[in-house]
């Protein structure tokens, strides 16, 4: 990925507010990022974090109050048609395709919206259908296909006109493990070959980790952190210990581990108890075993590994939640002191 070239997507200080009755909800707050040709950028966040609002704002579906968005240099509020000419999207589970049309008819229709004929798209269409194993379904209505194949058709339709920017909201929805693997490889190759920019949201952390050049983690409409997967690991990764005990932790042990701020997740099983211990400081490992030794529990096994993107994501979101709770507590205390 060469970031010396100009970005094809620029999101600057984006803010969007909704009203739910009398309550004001800030869906996105001062969000800024850019996307470059040949790059795949992932957006991660819990439900309600602002992912869908961000995607829909870029796609010109949602009007926003503050900020600017440019697609291929065009402002998406003042030059909407030029933006749409450079944009492809898969939104909300393949809802961008028509169920009564065949996969091929869908592709031809969406290409036609960009002024392209069947002859113009035939080589790309044949390549995509072959690569994604859709050839056998060319003559069937999309509504008759499995959810996974519907999703593949939606991805093809989003890319059929070779847009400069493509938005993929949950592109692996409904796909099995093998198909997800092929989709990942194909999408990586397609983005690199055609030098498009892809913005991807997904709950499949392994998919995001394996396909994205960069990742943005957002919560409550704001960026918590961003960088390459390698950079996030270097900055935030914790060493993960999986410890299997013959007997469960006692309530007293769990309380003491919590008091010592030792991050332990407990997974009770029929014949044993598995613990996931996340550490950044080796001193806490000694502290953990000190607490464990009190009851002389029998240790069946210990394994260790670096935390993956999912562990980093969960850890960052949890830390952000703790900071917000502390801030809310301070605000309440401040209000009380003035009353």
For 161-214, the pLDDT digits (tens) are 999 999 999 888 878 888 888 888 999 999 999 999 999 998 777 888 889 999
Whole-number percent of the chain with pLDDT over 90: 48
Of 331 and 66, the one with more pLDDT: 66
- Nearest alpha-carbon partner for 316 in 222, 207, 252: 222
- pLDDT digits over 233-252, tens only? 766 655 678 889 998 989 99
Instruction: List all residues 6 or more positions away from 330 whose beta carbon is below 8 Å from its beta carbon.
Output: none
More confident of the two residues 236 and 100: 100
Residue 19, pLDDT score: 85
Q: Using one digit for the tens of pLDDT, what is the confidence trace for 255-313?
A: 988 898 888 888 888 889 988 887 766 678 888 888 888 888 889 998 876 556 666 66
pLDDT digits (tens, 9 = 90+) for 117-152: 999 999 999 999 999 999 999 999 999 999 889 999
Question: Is pLDDT above 80 for 321?
Answer: no
Residue 323 scores a pLDDT above 60: no
On whether the CB atoms of residues 329 and 284 are closer than 8 A, the answer is no
Task: Report the percentage of the chain scoring pLDDT > 70.
Answer: 85
Tell me what pLDDT residue 236 has: 60
Q: Class for domain 9-234, per CATH? A: alpha beta
Look at residue 337 in the predicted model and tell me its pLDDT.
Answer: 36
Instruction: Indicate whether 334 pLDDT > 60.
Output: no
Residue 339 is predicted with a pLDDT of 33
Query: Check: CATH 3.40.50.300 for 238-306?
Result: no
Asked if the model's pLDDT at residue 253 lies above 80, the reply is yes
pLDDT recorded at residue 335: 47
The per-residue pLDDT for 2 is 45
Sketch the domain layout of the chain as residue ranges.
Answer: 9-234, 238-306
The reported pLDDT for the residue numbered 155 is: 93
Residues comprising the chain, all counted:
339
Q: Is 108 exposed, middle or buried (0-12, 13-18, 19+ CB in 10 A)?
A: buried
CB 183 within 8 A of CB 171: yes
**Is the pLDDT score of 324 beyond 60?**
no
Given a cut of 60, is residue 58 above it in pLDDT? yes
């Amino acid at each position: 990925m060469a970031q010396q070239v100009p970005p094809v997507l620029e999101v600057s200080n984006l803010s969007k507010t909704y009203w739910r009755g009398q309550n004001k909800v800030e869906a996105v707050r001062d969000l800024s990022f850019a996307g470059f040709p040949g790059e795949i950028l992932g957006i991660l966040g819990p439900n309600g974090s602002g992912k869908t609002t961000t995607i829909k704002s870029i796609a010109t579906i949602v009007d926003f109050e503050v900020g600017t968005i440019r697609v291929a240099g065009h402002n998406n509020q003042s030059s909407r048609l030029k933006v749409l000419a450079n944009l492809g999207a898969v939104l909300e589970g393949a809802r961008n395709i028509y169920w009564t049309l065949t996969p091929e008819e869908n592709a031809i229709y969406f290409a036609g919206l960009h002024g392209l004929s069947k002859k113009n798209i035939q080589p790309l269409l044949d390549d995509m259908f072959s690569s994604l194993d859709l050839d056998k379904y060319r003559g069937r209505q999309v509504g008759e296909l499995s959810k996974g194949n519907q999703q593949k058709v939606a991805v093809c339709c989003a890319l059929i006109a070779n847009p400069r920017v493509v938005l993929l909201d949950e592109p692996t929805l409904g796909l099995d493990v093998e198909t997800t693997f092929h989709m990942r490889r194909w999408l990586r190759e397609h983005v690199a070959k055609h030098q498009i920019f892809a913005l991807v949201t997904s709950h499949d952390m392994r998919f995001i980790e394996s396909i994205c050049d960069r990742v943005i983690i957002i919560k409550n409409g704001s960026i918590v952190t961003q960088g390459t997967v390698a950079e996030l690991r270097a900055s935030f990764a914790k060493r993960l210990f999986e410890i299997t005990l013959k007997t469960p932790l006692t309530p007293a042990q769990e309380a003491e581990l919590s008091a010592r701020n030792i991050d332990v997740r407990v997974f009770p099983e029929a014949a044993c108890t598995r613990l996931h211990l996340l550490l950044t400081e080796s001193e806490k490992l000694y502290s953990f075993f000190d607490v464990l030794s009190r009851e002389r529990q029998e240790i069946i096994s210990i394994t260790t590994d670096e935390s993956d993107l999912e562990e980093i994501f969960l850890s960052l979101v949890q830390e952000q939640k703790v900071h917000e709770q502390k801030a809310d507590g301070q605000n309440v205390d401040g209000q009380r002191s003035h009353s």
